[in-house]
Amino acid sequence: MKGQSIFLFLFSLLLPWSSVFSQFPGDNSRNNGSKPTLDGFAEVSWEASYAQVRDKFLSLASNPQSDEKIEVVHEDKEKSLLVRRNGIFYLYRFYSTPKLVLDSRPKDKNQPRPEKETSPEEDEHLEPGKLFSVGVSFRYLPGKEVQSKLENKYGKPKKETLDDKKIGGAVIWELTDERQAPPAGGFIVQWKEAYKKQPFTRRVDYFSSKVKAQIEKEYKEFFSAEEIKTLRDLIP
């Protein structure tokens, strides 16, 4: 593994900068000044199932007519899928409502939840995972150039937070439709860190605003779920 990491590092140094940027999301400029949106990542929509995303990349990886180099590097069923695509790593993250939260909710008598056997791995979650975030990792690139590429597609960021040295921090784009509840769209976080005393970037994260709101809501439910379930069982 160590030897492989060294090889990947040396190989990345040989890649021309232009080839990395050509694969980086946000490379295309906005068309006709239209308002940018974030309804998913690249060709995959938010809330796509784990199975759909996995099958898509396995199909692309085995397609002899494809010019892309695609490999499914690691998979954690219904939770995450790590894909290496043309030398860049994409971590697809999936979310499903915890079983404890589902069990704490009032049961719909008209639509009872079907009983099924679950393995230890599936015990914490019963529902299929749905895409809520994608993390993109690549070799160090100048933070200003990465930010410029993202601005070309998504416009100016909403805010930027930097450390005392004005080097490390995060740049945030909010690309949502607040008229909907929960808001549609998503947001982007570009991470900057010090490298050679300059702000560089090697990671950008994309998130679904809708699923983020769901996670925040169910996070609160999770910590009271056990008590709610106990009270419901005591008072049927």
Count CB neighbours of 57 within 10 A. 20
Count CB neighbours of 148 within 10 A. 12
Q: How far apart are CA 1 and CA 16, in angstroms?
A: 25
Establish whether the linkage from the previous residue to 64 is cis, with ω within 30° of 0. no
Q: How far apart are CA 169 and CA 161, in angstroms?
A: 5
The amino acid present at 116, given as its one-letter code, is: K
Reported as a single tens digit per residue, the pLDDT across 159-205 is: 998 887 778 899 999 998 777 777 789 999 999 999 888 999 999 99
pLDDT at position 53 is: 97
Q: Which residues pair with 169 in a beta bridge?
A: 162, 192
Q: What is the full DSSP assignment across 92-155?
A: EEEE--BHHHHHHSPP-TTSPPPP----TTTTTB-SPPEEEEEEEEEEEEEHHHHHHHHHHHH-
Q: Which residue has the tokens 């199975």?
A: 51
Q: How far apart are CA 31 and CA 28, in angstroms?
A: 9
Residue 60 tokens, joined: 């692309």
pLDDT at position 154 is: 93
List per-residue pLDDT tens for the chain, 236 residues long: 444 443 333 334 333 333 444 445 544 445 555 667 799 998 899 999 999 999 999 999 999 988 899 999 999 999 999 999 999 999 999 998 887 767 766 666 444 454 545 555 545 556 789 999 999 999 999 999 999 999 999 999 999 988 877 788 999 999 987 777 777 899 999 999 998 889 999 999 999 999 988 888 877 666 655 555 555 555 54
Residue 103 tokens, joined: 């069990």
pLDDT at position 131 is: 96
Closest CA relative to residue 83, chosen from 131, 149, 22, 17: 131
Sign of CA dihedral 91, 94, 99, 104: positive
Domains of the chain, by residue range, sit at 40-105+123-234
